[in-house]
């Protein structure tokens, strides 16, 4: 690893996000961005080693987080996950693979830069999402909610009333109530009871349907 200014590479396949990241890092005087690529395989094209790879969790090439983290480690670099995704299983996969932490694309600039500096030194970046991923049971049973049920749960568990959920989804209040009942039943069937609204909130967090508190 570099003993002077940390060197950073970004693996990100959304151009606008990559450009914003580039401008942010280039405005610092203690970090050097070596380059930006759209896949882990392209890191070799940068022509030099880096201390830290900031890695998008979900790439268009369909690669798995654990494979990407393993490949980056083989290149001698640390990994910081950078994502807008809410997929609990992908986050857990990255955590188990040895990435140093996760930072949301929606986070503020200073938080992102602090996370980069910490990870570039080989230190773990702690946060609600990362702690939940590490602590969660990797074999947490899947309730197999449909897309519509996930939508209803994310709204209802976030604090919306059944009436407001009905308005947002263009369904009747009774239909929303039926959906909530089915959701509760599905969770109960896999041993993850959700008898209260607080329980539903916890299940939604566990399954990546809601973002945890900052």
pLDDT confidence of residue 133: 62
Burial of 187 from C-beta contacts in 10 A (0-12 / 13-18 / 19+): buried
Compute the residue count for the chain.
214
The answer to whether the CB of 24 falls within 8 A of the CB of 94 is no
Strands across the sheet containing 7-11: 32-37, 7-11, 52-56, 78-83, 102-104
State the CB neighbour count (10 A cutoff) for residue 183.
23
pLDDT confidence of residue 90: 73
Half-sphere exposure at residue 127, Cβ-oriented, CA atoms within 13 angstroms: 25
Per-residue pLDDT 10s for the chain (214 aa) are 445 789 999 999 999 999 999 999 999 999 999 999 999 999 999 988 899 999 998 888 888 888 999 999 999 999 999 988 666 667 777 777 788 888 888 889 999 999 999 999 998 887 766 666 665 545 667 898 998 999 999 999 988 999 999 999 999 999 999 999 999 999 999 988 999 888 898 888 878 787 655 4
Reported pTM: 0.62
Q: Which residues contact 60 (CB under 8 A, 6 or more apart)?
A: 13, 38
């Amino acid at each position: 690893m570099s003993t002077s200014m940390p060197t950073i590479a970004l693996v990100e396949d959304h151009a606008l996000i990559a450009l914003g990241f580039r401008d942010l890092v280039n405005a610092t005087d203690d970090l050097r961005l070596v380059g930006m690529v759209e896949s882990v395989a392209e890191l070799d094209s940068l022509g030099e080693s880096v201390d830290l790879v900031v890695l998008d969790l979900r790439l268009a090439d369909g690669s798995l987080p654990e494979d990407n983290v393993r490949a980056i480690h083989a290149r001698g670099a640390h990994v910081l996950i950078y994502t807008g995704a809410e997929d609990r299983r992908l986050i857990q996969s990255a955590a188990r693979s040895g990435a140093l932490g996760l930072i949301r694309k929606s986070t503020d600039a200073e938080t992102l830069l602090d996370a980069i500096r910490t990870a570039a030194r080989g230190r773990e970046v702690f946060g609600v999402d990362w702690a939940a991923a590490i602590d969660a049971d990797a074999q947490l049973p899947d309730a197999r909610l449909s897309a519509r049920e996930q939508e209803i749960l994310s709204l209802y568990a976030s604090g919306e009333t059944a009436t407001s959920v009905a308005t947002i989804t263009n369904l009747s209040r009774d239909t929303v109530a039926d959906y909530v009942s089915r959701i509760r039943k599905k969770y109960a069937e896999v041993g993850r009871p959700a008898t209260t609204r607080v329980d539903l909130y916890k299940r939604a967090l566990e399954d990546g349907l809601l973002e945890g508190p900052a």
